[in-house]
Each structure stands twice: as C-alpha cells, then as structure tokens.
Amino acid sequence: MKKLPEQTSTTKLHETFSQHFSTSSQHLSETTTAWAPGRVNLIGEHTDYNDGYVFPMALELGVAVHFRPRKDDKVRLYAANPGEVGEFSLSSIARSDTQPWLNYPMGVAKELLQAGADLKGLEGVIDGNLPIGAGLSSSAALEVASALAFLQAAGEAMEPLELARLCRRAENDFVGLNCGIMDQFIALFARTGTALFLDTRSLDHQNVLLPSTNEYVVMICDSQVKHSLATSQYNLRHRECEEALKLLKLHLPHIKALRDVSIQEFCAHRDALPQPLSRRAEHVIFENDRTLRAREALANADVQSFGRLMDDSHESLRDLYEVSCAELDLLVDSARKIPGVMGSRMTGGGFGGCTVSLVEARREEEFCDKLSSRYKGVTGLECHIFVSKAAGAAAVS
C-alpha cells in the first residue's frame, strides 16, 4: 500500500535553498516558508466555471515556497520539479514559453502589483509532495503559496477572499487557463476535518464535517496518466458550456449561467441544443443537483447516499462530459467491486489524473492491494494510492 507521500521537511528545504542561493549581502533575512494545500474534489466537477456548486477538501499534500527577500526587484526561483532555476524582474513581467511553471508565480506577482502591493524581489525554492498533472490542484497551490511568499517578503497582507480572486485571475489571464475559483478558494478557506461546500457565484461556503477517519477514509488513486489542463480540452469544455448557455437563453432569458437552469427546464428545452452541447449542459445541470444533495447527505451522515452520488457523478463525466479515460474508468469500475467502497469517481479536470473513493476504514489495506493489483494487471502501470485526512488552509511559517 502507498502511504501519504513524504512531506517536504524544513531541513530539506533549507538544504536545497543553500545549494542554489548564496549568502551575500544582497539578502535581507533568514528564510521563511509559505505552504498551500492541494485538494481533491469529492463531487461537483466542471461546475465551478458555470457558477455552480463544488465540494472539495484540502489535502495534507501541498506546495511549499521556501524563500527570503532581496534588496532589488529580481525574483529567482528554483523549482525542484523540473529541477531548474527561473528568474524575472518585477518591473518587466512577461509570459514564459520555455518555463511554463514560472508563469504561475509571475502571474501572481503581476496581479499583486496591479492590486497596489509594493512587492520586493525574493529568491526561493519551490518544492512539495503534490503530484503535478494529477488533478489535485498543484497549480492553485503554487499560486497561493507564491502569493503568500510575495506578500510576506513585502511585509503586506491581503484578505483571503481577495487573494483567492487574485490567484484565479492570474491563472485565467496570465497562464491562460479558464478555471473557476474552487481550487484557490479551498486552499485559503479549508478547515481540518471538513469538506468545503462552495457556491462559486456568491462564494457562500460551508465547512461540512467529514465522517470520522476511524470509520471511513478518503482514498486517492493517481492513475499515473499525466495531463496538462492548459493543453487539454479543458478550455474547449468551457467554450461548449458558453455556447450551450447562449442557445438556452433564447428560451430561458432569465438565466445567467447553466447553474440557473433547473432540471425541469433543461428537459423541456434540451432539443434546442445540438450535440455535444446538450450532453455538456446535462452534465453541469445534473451535477449541480447532485452536489446539493451530497451536502445534505454528508450533513446527515448518510454515507451510502453520498457514495451513490459519487458513482453517478463519474458516469456523467464519462458519458456526457467526456473527460474521463480508459485508465480512470478502470480504476473506478475496479474500486466499486471491492468490499467496503461506498463510492468512487474521477476527480479533477480529467483526461488522466486521479480517482477518489470513500472506503470503510477497516477495508483500507484490502482496497489498496486489490485495486493496485487489478490496475497493474490490465495496464502494466503502478498506480499510486494514498489516504489523506482533510487538511487546513495555506499558511506562512
């Protein structure tokens, strides 16, 4: 069985920092660490950019930026993955085509400057234990950790809600991915032991207590099939939803987003949508309903109903939204055959990445053994399975 990936210790961060940065008089102070968690979305997939509902939990896995300020406006960062140094000046921020990982801290810095922050240069190490391209929000974790590092280095602060919006703008406008606000929001508003129900339009949110880890555990399985959302069909799905919305508005002029369309209204007007737009809209509209019912189920400790909603979500993502893949389907189908599995689904943007399963705690070892054996037998790949408790929000230490 795969346990939770090893944390990136402060000692390791110090060692990596000293390997790549000198201790000249250019530097002002000792190093500080900004950390932000990844997330797994329990249900509510591809709804956030449609003003819908989502239900993520923060992971114990995350991204750390171990840094110290500089006296000039230079930013120099060593990224442990892919193992290279990137740098830029705060006075001349331009998108990088050769170092795409650098666009995340650059985009955040640009947004902070536009918001009026008096940023200072810094140098630091980016490291962590969050798999990249696995659908666990490594990009938002990097954005939030970078933002906290820039603010700390400048001696400034920002309200979490404002910071979540800022980091989302950085990913939308600078990186070029039309994501919603879920990933940045959970990184800044998570509470230990809870999942976060979020209305992505109003940003009203509720931390809902998860079942005791003595009874049920959240198991995450990395398929080892990697993807990059910026180069996948993520943006295409976003455009398809916008096209579906325009057509539905001809019949439902009151709607502003797909979240405003009731199931009854969709069933009455679905023939107005060509394929694949009808399938895309159907997923979003029904997924919002599932997410509302999932919140109610979890609040009432109805684990069985919650699990069934997870199952239904995966089938919709596979058949209607068409963002699953053979490896994810294999993991989900195999998981559902294992005793003690309450529900299983793909999570994240899709086209690879991870599945999430709710499993009886006493079946944890059996789940890992059977799922990994089945997956390797069919694909020849070693999937990485781990359990994570619901973690708290990003912080500086």
pLDDT in tens, 197-217: 999 999 999 999 999 999 999
In a domain, 123, yes or no: yes
Residues designated as active site: 183
Burial label for 335, CB within 10 Å (0-12, 13-18, 19+), is buried
At 67, list the tokens.
Answer: 């840094």
In a domain, 195, yes or no: yes
CATH of the domain at 78: 3.30.230.10
pLDDT tens string 57-80 = 999 999 999 999 999 999 999 999
At 241, list the tokens.
Answer: 């939803």
The whole-model pTM stands at 0.90
**Residues 205/199, Cβ–Cβ less than 8 Å:** yes
| Of 28 and 54, the one with more pLDDT | 54
In a domain, 44, yes or no: yes
In a domain, 236, yes or no: no
Beta strands of the chain (E only): which ranges?
A: 32-41, 53-54, 56-69, 74-79, 84-89, 122-128, 194-199, 205-209, 216-222, 341-347, 354-360, 384-387, 395-396
The predicted model gives 339-352 an average pLDDT of: 94
First-last CA distance in the chain: 32
In a domain, 56, yes or no: yes
High-pLDDT (> 70) share of the chain, %: 95
The predicted model gives 185-206 an average pLDDT of: 98
pLDDT at 384 over 70: yes
Q: What's the rounded Cα separation, in Å, for the pair 390 and 328?
A: 23
Containing domain of residue 102, as a range?
10-209
pLDDT at 24 over 60: no
In a domain, 48, yes or no: yes
> How many domains does the chain divide into?
1
Q: How far is CA 302 from CA 2, 239, 306, 391, in A?
A: 28, 36, 6, 22
Mean pLDDT, the chain, whole residue set: 93
In a domain, 183, yes or no: yes
Q: What's the rounded Cα separation, in Å, for the pair 356 and 340?
A: 14
In a domain, 270, yes or no: no
